[in-house]
Amino acid sequence: MKPMSSVVRTITKLLLGPIFLFGAYIILHGHLTPGGGFQGGAIIATVMTLVLIAFGTRVWKKNILSFIESTGLLAFVGLGFLGLGSGFFLFNFLAGSDSLFFGKVIEPVTGEFAGWPANSAPLLSGGTVPLLNLFVGMEVVAALTLIIITMGLFAFDGKEGE
């Protein structure tokens, strides 16, 4: 697909950052607010598609996207296998531990952890849930972008060239 006019390219440059930031927010806050890896990944994939339409189909490299997709899925499975050490497959082994990240934060007054109150948990909570969100987000972004790149190359670049 050929690059589009300079009006489209300028608007795309303007919108690229905010939409990407929104998608990253949806992914990273998946364990706190509605959303998660699939939803945020789809939002970031729309940015990739917008750039693809505006700047032509040769912007993104296929090999890098394939690597991101495979890494996301393998990391998901690998984290699941890490849970086997303390329980079963996909066991949330970070949630009950006293680790610095993703563990429980002991309240200074009572000295024990009673669970998060509604809608006020910190970002570093949830054990393996935010990590799994991140991996699923990587996989969804790369997968949707790869599908659209492949179809765009097949549909347009064979006839028009570049």
Partner 1 sequence: MIGKGVKIIFLMSLAALLLLTVYEMRDFGEPEGKMYIYDPVAGENVDGSVERTAMDDFFLANSTSDETATNNVVSAVVFDYRGFDTLGEATVLFAAVTGVMMALRGAFPEKGHAKKRKGGGVK
Would you say how long the chain is, in residues? Answer: 162
* Count of alpha carbons within 13 angstroms of residue 97, beta-carbon side: 13
Closer by beta carbon to partner 1, 39 or else 50? 39
Closer by beta carbon to partner 1, 12 or else 35? 35
Q: Please, what is the minimum distance in Å from the beta carbon of residue 7 to partner 1? A: 28
DSSP letter for each residue of 37-84? HHHHHHHHHHHHHHHHHHH-TTSS-HHHHHHHHHHHHHHHHHHHHHGG
Q: Please, what is the minimum distance in Å from the beta carbon of residue 160 to partner 1? A: 10
> Would you tell me which residues interact with partner 1 (CB under 8 A)?
30-34, 36, 38, 62, 69, 72-73, 76-77, 80, 89-90, 92, 95-96, 102-104, 113-116, 118-121, 125-129, 132-133, 136, 139-140, 143, 146-147, 150-151, 153-154, 157-158, 161-162
Q: Please, what is the minimum distance in Å from the beta carbon of residue 150 to partner 1? A: 5
Q: 22 burial class (0-12, 13-18, 19+ CB within 10 angstroms)?
A: middle
Task: Round to whole Å and give the CA distance between 12 and 51.
Answer: 7
Closer by beta carbon to partner 1, 21 or else 77? 77
Closer by beta carbon to partner 1, 64 or else 77? 77
